[in-house]
Structure 1
């Protein structure tokens, strides 16, 4: 199956997260597969991020002069929770941001800490007599520790976080609540998702400098997965946490997004996905809904709270009726500064390699890069038409659905260096010297949800040598902008369209030294040249389609000013209508 690789934005983390120094450390979802049932007993190393060294997050025994911090916890019913319902407390040093985890047994635990001021917090699950669980985050915003100190965290003093919009039937589908405290050592934060049917509760505080509450809510029709709309609403409180954290958004104040979904074949499942990144919120934003898979317009499909510093990706996942995996189309770099309507088109043909997606999240990688003597390749090979598009990729777990592919690296002289049985994916060890390489990927697919891009072949030539750090490989991709209907069909007769190129690791169009394009109306058995006229960094193509239904295949050969080249062909790039 294809990996839903979103280079620009991380999806929201399920469960509960804690962090210090900006590195995501753990989630209380632990090994649990059903949210809202228990809290893991300690930090989960599966959630370390971007290869950074994680801060030490364990109970510490310190040298003489340390103090014992004793924490006791009560749930919303006033009972001492067992370790499955409150596994640990967190003590953040307000001077340094350093984290100490206090393991809890039956609602009590101790840890050795240095003399300082601390924010102390715990995650507490309360299960009512009806079996419904809620999650509370009792907290003391400041605990001064000069000697042995007792701290009581009582969930009975927490308040439920409510999120709503002014639309009849709209209900919370998911979201995240994050508490952030500024400190000289950097911001410290903890967060939890709306995964608990009994609600999510936070600790109200008095005015507190540097303490902030951020709430993200995703709302759908009656909170269901199948919905004609998806609200993404955000709220921010600074200077403390209010006694009644209830938030309501007005539809008129939000940015509406109309989605136009193109496709062909027999798609039975379609999802719209939002993913947001806020540089001030380490947690991710986003959710998905299932919509009618019939190609066409989905008006007012997405609403977003305007915020200039938040960047969004909008995606469509289109596949078979069982939603087991299909094509994944993504457009990134979407900022909503005002409540102005916009339209996003997803799934437009031709589908092909994309290498210039925006990278706005720190640490995000390009589609192909070199680190030391290793080339890492993970090119999304079925991106839809549009500048800077991204999408799913093959990976270690498997190739694209219904696809058989291969990726081969060799020298320009033809010496093989490595082969991967995945489309557009591979990891290759090379020599440190400057070498001219040829990277070729090919694939065939027989997908029920589309009858386009049934066969692809792309071959890049480029020069690379060892350099410090990470360097992007200068791979090119030829892209087409063709006026097609919702079924990705062009009319018979004379058609004009735009051709341009992108380069890996950059955004926007790249100026080419040369370009040729050929078309085929018999699935690549014969080819004819397409007339091209240069217009700056684009080319205007003119092609006469024969009468009657059928398909158009495209192949292109391009060279940039540095001598890097690409040859790419797509069988059944788009369809022709009568």
Structure 2
């Protein structure tokens, strides 16, 4: 199985003018997964866009952007939907990034929402990111007999009766409407969904996971007995089937596709392979390669697309169709991407359909090769789940092993050959071959499905459980392999068809939970069936041993140690089974005799009078490890009980953290495994700036030892305030608090909470110094000159800029007019043009409607008085995401009522100052390693402790722009922030913290729709230094920057990647995010065209294992009306490449680069006359096969390339070339340059209108 795997309001996206988004970022890092084992390129080697950013819209409407910044670091920003003000938690587990908005946390904790809906990494991998999907596919579960109607914002796809649900698709542009229509105002500890919904799942994607192999399972013996599956319907749910293949011609009685827009024909090959293994005729090989049950009646259900993936709902619909067609056996060589405990929709559907129809579902175990990683639907209790062995009956390295996630139940159930299986090839021919080999549990599964069909032919009255028991109890045990690896053993069809005695296949005694207060003895009935004509007396024996410890902590503990005497027993040592009857015994387990935290596996053998074993039953039990109660108490800054959440992460595991909800009593109790934990809580509390002030308290214990029952009191009255002081006038544009904890192994928590602008205070609870691992608390500030300031009679008025607000520039004293609730009718008869308008907030109008009415009336400023306690933050921009047509700020009720009284009497004047572009920024971080101290929490950096960066933003006036800088500590993979608006062109002076261990990465965006993005490389600054940084400066041209994937070669494949619009800034890489730029890439291999792409990236696979020469020809073009400079470029790279001999080796390609140095103003214009241009030729850093840069040429044009003039180049001592030439005083300079090395690598590049002249 292939695993499932505005001071001048403008159009465009509104950038945050102040901190208007709350986000909590928690990073949990674990070990990296293995490389691909089948010789195909890993996911990271798939054709990559040169764009470094991926965007994902969540079910709550939050938009997550993840950007590679190089060096293994990524930046994350979460953009909230209109109306959302809560926080966002982010976790990284096993390399996957999860983003959890606070408003979804209660539903996640109550199991109302599928966690996969917030797995950003997986959503991207499945093609559900915004670049590839306009909707979110969902499966809705309904309570009782509620009609399965589609909620607001969704379109119903199909009903799914087997799970009492429906599949729907939520349009991303409408998904916030969906969320608000199903979410309720119920208490956080008792969340409920509206519309009769019980749960919402992601309709996740599943993926498609014979001569010698049929003999290996004993099929020829069954054929010799006249059994071939005749009359038995077998449904194969896969990628469809090539019904024109000789082996399947005339073998398929029905075929239906559940994949939208695709027929049931197989465009992948996986389904044809599995279908022929079940019941192919072998006609193309004169019968030699026939399937296990060549007489079975095949039904083909296409539930996986030609690309090899499907959605959960397609699979469920296929299962419902299969049983509706009368299938006795259903073969499913597919599975999901997440381990489950069998309570997921696919597993539930399978269990219900099997029970109602009597069909046996045979399902692949999966190809992860890991313990406890089995996914749906193989985790269903009714499924016959199949592992894979090779031709020598050794466990296939890729075969997923048990136990089942969560409850440690026995899985898989059986094994079959799954390595190098020869079967029908879709689209095959006599010339190209009719057969192909494939490996996976996908290949093992149809062997067992075919065996089940033959057994069903032999015993047409047998139910699905009887078929499953028969196949399991007669399977061949394999030495050295346990039931968690191969179930009952390798399928033995010869034994199964010859057997007259069968037994219960497996008996699980269950999960004995700590503190082990369950029954002293647990019994399970084991039933023996005799289909023979004579009674049979069976001697019974039972053995058991330790199979290991918890799968996530110590999986191999005490493995092989015999179970204690008396722990497992049988009610009788023999049983007589009458002819055509049944007999039973009770198997008993006494969990109390076992060791805590141990898995036990065993086997019951039934032997006849000759001593021959006639049937076997697998048994198992898990005795949970030590657990202790943790009593949690949350208190606010007044010492009163407070509701909230506490996150707990246990050391020694990379499992998901546990989120504990705390109700209005401020108390909660949770049962925890013994060990050491990181406990963390973020609690909204009263701030330090008056009655309407709001603060955030970070509280926790980085080293909570659970060796007995414990009490954790997180009391905000004991917290200390965290502040920063700088010498110049500023306001906080962004604040976040960071908690990092690592045990030195696989358990790591990196949690960041980004405060919204409604919060003005930060508090922390001091901690003890940790004694093991690493801990650090860090505070982050971005400070700048206030965007908007109001004062009355010399006294400042406390305001809060609203999300999406337009901007005011200047300084003046304004008259103020009161306009009621701010509806259009309220402006009748009022003279507000050029004045400030004061209005009351009400639910009758949205923030955007109030802003629009004020702008239409000609107001210069809108001030909204809150109608409730605290500060008001609303979205006031346009529906399209643009800025409001008037600047909008809010004031509290306490401060606003006196203003209204003065305005009513026409005597109110306000002094207004607006500075949209701050002349300076302070980007500050203050880390505290080892503990959170009780003192020293006010950060006052000296000038000598900061680095100064002179920022120059080049560009064209008239388009929105933005910029942000992310901070990184040594441990951090993901850093949080969001772009803040910045007019371009412009300059600014930035002051950065530069303590050891702190580095920075920056990003700038501009142009129509903010489409042009420039990413900077990860940079470390030295304290006390001053440097310059230019953004969007000429010459923009194709060049690799530090924040993107390099062009690389690995064994068997290579990938090219270039950023088409890189500016002259050091380490920058530039791309167009909206796809409006025209890109045409052609790749030649030794002169032959092998790849074309509409992106500036491409992957070649396979590639020759000999030295080759590659030529990349890239044409890039963008809108010349929006981008007056570099509207067109043409680049041709020639690069030599040697094979990579190390299977794990990665060689960077020796692509050459050109850099152009020309002094221009901020609009990109150089003064006409004598020009001095510096030209530099280089390679990608650390490139394999790079030679010495040997030469360069340059030509210039003043008519967009119609005529070119060669320019003399003088080589400098530093390896650059200097060009001097005369140019006119208007127009543009186009450049045509070439550079080469002495190893055969070169680059020729032409840039139209590289820079302007004045």
After superposition, the C-alpha distances for 1:428-448 in whole angstroms (9 at most, x for unaligned) are: 434242322211111221144
1:477 has 2:1153 as partner: yes
2:101 is paired with a residue whose SS is coil
- What does residue 235 of structure 1 align with? 926
What secondary structure, in the 3-state scheme, does the structure 1 residue paired with 2:931 have?
coil
Any unmatched runs of 5+ in structure 2?
1-48, 54-66, 79-87, 110-114, 126-367, 374-404, 408-512, 514-549, 551-596, 598-622, 788-800, 804-915
- Which has the higher Rg, Structure 1 or Structure 2? 2
From 951, 956, 963, the counterpart of 1:259: 951
Residue in structure 2 matching 1:527, options 1182, 1204, 1213: 1204
Return the offset for 1:13.
Answer: 5.7
Normalization by structure 2: what TM-score?
0.39
- Residues 1:319 and 2:1007 are matched in the alignment: yes
2:75 aligned counterpart, secondary structure? coil
SS at match of 2:1117: strand
Alignment partners' CA distance in 2, 1:524 and 1:135: 59
Distance (whole Å) between structure 2 residues aligned to residue 377 and residue 110 of structure 1? 51
2:1103 paired with 1:431: yes
Give distance in 1, aligned partners of 2:978 and 2:922. 9
Q: Which residue of 1 aligns with 2:467?
A: none
CA distance in 1, matches of 2:103, 2:1182: 39
- On the 8 A contact 2:965/2:1000 being kept in 1, the answer is yes
CA contact (8 A) 1:368 1:378 kept: yes
Choose between structure 1 and 2: higher strand proportion: 1
Alignment partner of 1:205 is 2:776: no
Distance 1:448 1:26 in 2: 40
Equivalent-residue separation in structure 1 for 2:123 and 2:994 (angstroms): 28
**Aligned positions of 1:432-471 closer than 5 A:** 432-434=1104-1106, 435-467=1108-1140, 468=1143, 469-471=1145-1147
Evaluate the alpha carbon distance shift between residue 158 and residue 16 of structure 1 in structure 2; reply closer, same or farther with a 3 A threshold.
farther
Residue 362 of structure 1: aligned partner: none
Partners of 1:447 and 1:132 in 2: CA distance: 49
- Structure 2 partner of 1:493: 1169
How many Å separate the matches in 2 of 1:488 and 1:277?
A: 32
Match of 1:552 among 1223, 1226, 1229: 1229
Q: 2:101 aligns with which of 29, 40, 44?
A: 29
1:6 and 1:391 in contact (8 A); partners too: no
- Partner Cα distance (2:648, 2:372) in 1: 12
**In the alignment, structure 1 residue 140 sits paired with structure 2 residue 701:** yes
Query: Separation in 2 of the partners of 1:549 and 1:152?
Result: 72
Shift of 1:292: 2.9
Q: In structure 2, do the counterparts of structure 1 residues 336 and 481 end up closer, same or farther at CA, with 3 Å as the change threshold?
A: same
What is the match of residue 411 of structure 1? 1085
Q: How many angstroms does 1:231 deviate by?
A: 1.4
In 2: Cα distance, 1:511 partner to 1:478 partner: 14
Q: SS in structure 2 opposite 1:185?
A: coil
- Tell me: CA distance 1:101–1:259, structure 2 relative to 1, closer, same or farther (3 Å): closer
1:270-325 C-alpha deviation (Å, 9 max, x unpaired): 32322333214445266543233235xx242x1101224323234432324xxx22
Contact 1:92–1:118 (Cα < 8 Å) also in 2: yes
Q: Cα distance, 1:215 vs. partner?
A: 1.6
Distance 2:925 2:107 in 1: 26
| CA displacement at 1:451 relative to structure 2 | 0.5
Q: Report what 2:1060 is aligned to.
A: 381
1:75 to partner: Cα distance: 5.5
CA distance in 2, matches of 1:143, 1:163: 27
Deviation at 1:335, TM superposition (A): 2.8
Measure how far apart 1:347 and its partner are: 2.3
1:499, distance to aligned residue in structure 2 (A): 0.8
Aligned residue in 1 for 2:69? 7
CA distance in 2, matches of 1:389, 1:479: 11
Residue 171 of structure 1 is aligned with which of 731, 735, 759?
731
User: Of 649, 672, 675, which aligns to 1:116?
Assistant: 675
1:421 maps onto 2:1094 in alignment: yes
Q: Please tell me whether the aligned partners of residues 552 and 574 of structure 1 are also in contact (alpha carbons under 8 angstroms).
A: yes
CA shift, 1:233, in A, is 0.8
Which residue does the alignment assign to 1:572? 1249
2:784 paired residue number: 220
Could you list the runs of 5+ residues in structure 1 that have no partner in the other structure? 360-364
Normalised to the residue count of structure 1, the TM-score between the two structures is: 0.80
Structure 1 outlier segments of 4+, above 6 Å: 48-51, 53-61, 130-133
Q: Which residue of 1 aligns with 2:415?
A: none
Residues 447 and 267 of structure 1: CA distance in aligned 2, closer, same or farther (over 3 Å): farther
2:961 to 239, 249, 270: 270
Distance 1:462 1:316 in 2: 31
Secondary structure at the counterpart of residue 562 of structure 1: coil
Aligned-partner Cα distance in 2 for 1:135–1:24: 28
Q: Which has the higher helix share?
A: 2
- 3-state DSSP class of the match of 1:336? coil
Q: Is the 8 A contact 2:735 2:780 kept in 1?
A: yes
Structure 1 distance, partners of 2:406, 2:737, is 26
Q: Distance in 1 between matches of 2:1109 and 2:940?
A: 56
Residue 540 (1) aligns with residue 1201 (2): no
CA distance in 2, matches of 1:313, 1:436: 35
Q: Is the 8 A contact 1:406 1:442 kept in 2?
A: yes
Alignment correspondent of 2:985: 294
Specify whether residues 136 and 97 from structure 1 end up closer, same or farther in structure 2 by C-alpha distance, changes over 3 A only.
farther
Equivalent residue of 1:255, what SS?
Answer: strand
Provide the rounded CA distance (Å) in 1 between the counterparts of 2:1228 and 2:1159.
15
Q: Cα distance, 1:258 vs. partner? A: 1.7
The 3 A distance-change label for structure 1 pair 134 and 479 is: same
Deviations 1:512-546 (A, max 9, x none): 2232211111111121211112224211212222x
Cα 1:190–1:136, aligned 2, differ >3 Å: closer, same or farther? farther
Cα distance in 1, alignment partners of residues 685 and 723 from structure 2: 21
CA-CA distance at 1:245 after TM superposition: 7.1
Indicate the SS of the match to 1:144: strand
- 8 Å CA contact 2:1207, 2:1220 repeated in 1: yes
**Structure 1 residues 160, 425: CA separation in 2 closer, same or farther (over 3 Å shift)?**
farther
Equivalence for 1:514:
1191
SS where residue 120 of structure 2 aligns?
A: helix
2:120 matched residue in structure 1: 46
